[in-house]
Structure formats: C-alpha cells, structure tokens
C-alpha cells in the first residue's frame, strides 16, 4: 500500500528517553528536593512523611519499570496498585498540577530538551490525572 512501510524504527522507551538508571534517580531526587524546598509545592509536600527517603526510593523504583526499564518496584513492594495506594490522600486538580509542575521543574533543572520534556510530561499527565480521587 502506498505510504505504508514494512518496518518502522522502534521508538525509545521513556526509560531510554530519560537517560537510563542514573538519570531516573537524578530526576526523582531533583523532584523531591524541589517539593521539599519550594513553598508552591506545600500541598504536595504535606501528603508525604517528614523524611522523604522512602518516597524517593519508591518513586525511583516505580518509575524505572513504569518507564520501560527494569522492574525494581514489584520485587520490593508487590504490585503497584498505584491508585489504590494513593486513595488515603485527597488528590484533586491542584495536587495533580503541583506534582506535574514539580516534575517539569526537575526535568528543566536536569537540562532535558524541550521535546523530551513534552513527551515525558504527556505520559506523566495521564498517570497523574488518573490519580485524582476528589472533586475540585
């Protein structure tokens, strides 16, 4: 058929797009540093324990597998059941948007190219939006 190709070049996974293991960890660390330090993320920060160490590890492990890299989360914590694990927290549009903005700033802080940020933000948005569990 005209316009169709028989072989398409494989698209990189989000894990590859981020830059692999070290940059997934850097992204998570930058994300939590911003959340902990910036007053604009106060609602989001209040949903976390005083120490962010466990949260950092869980997000790092989750993002590794979620993005197409090694599944580091399931062997340690079991199935993610992401939405169910977050039901104890009132997550509305404001919290979702704070999470996304914190992630955007983390990506920018690590020098991610704009095109890469757009692709990742689209994927992050779908998951973050699905986490909302309270009306606005």
Over the stretch 39-95, which tens digit does the pLDDT of each residue have?
Answer: 999 999 999 999 999 999 999 999 999 999 999 999 999 998 988 989 899 999 999
d(CA 10, CA 109): 28
Residue 7 in any domain: the answer is no
Q: Is residue 70 part of a domain?
A: yes
Kindly state whether residue 104 falls inside one of the protein's structural domains.
yes
- What residues make up the domain containing 34? 20-130
Q: Is residue 10 part of a domain?
A: no
Helices 93-109 and 21-37 cross at an angle (nearest 10°) of: 120
13 pLDDT more than 90? yes
Structural domains in the chain (count) = 1
Residue 8 forms part of a structural domain: no
Residue 101: name the closest of 26, 42, 13, 22 by CA: 42
Over residues 131-136, mean pLDDT: 89
Question: Does the pLDDT at position 1 exceed 50?
Answer: no
What is the Cα–Cα distance from 124 to 119, expressed in whole angstroms? Answer: 9
């Amino acid at each position: 058929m005209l316009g169709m190709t028989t072989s398409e070049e494989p698209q990189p996974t989000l894990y590859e797009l981020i830059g692999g293991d070290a940059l997934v960890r850097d992204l998570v660390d930058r994300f939590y540093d911003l959340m902990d330090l910036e007053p604009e993320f106060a609602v989001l920060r209040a949903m976390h324990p005083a120490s962010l160490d466990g949260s950092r590890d869980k997000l790092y492990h989750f993002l590794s597998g979620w993005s197409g890299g090694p599944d580091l989360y399931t062997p340690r914590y079991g199935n993610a059941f992401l939405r169910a694990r977050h039901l104890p927290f009132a997550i509305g549009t404001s919290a979702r948007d704070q999470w996304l903005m914190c992630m955007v700033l983390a990506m920018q802080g690590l020098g991610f190219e704009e095109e890469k940020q757009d692709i990742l933000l689209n994927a992050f948005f779908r998951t973050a939006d699905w986490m909302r569990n309270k009306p606005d």
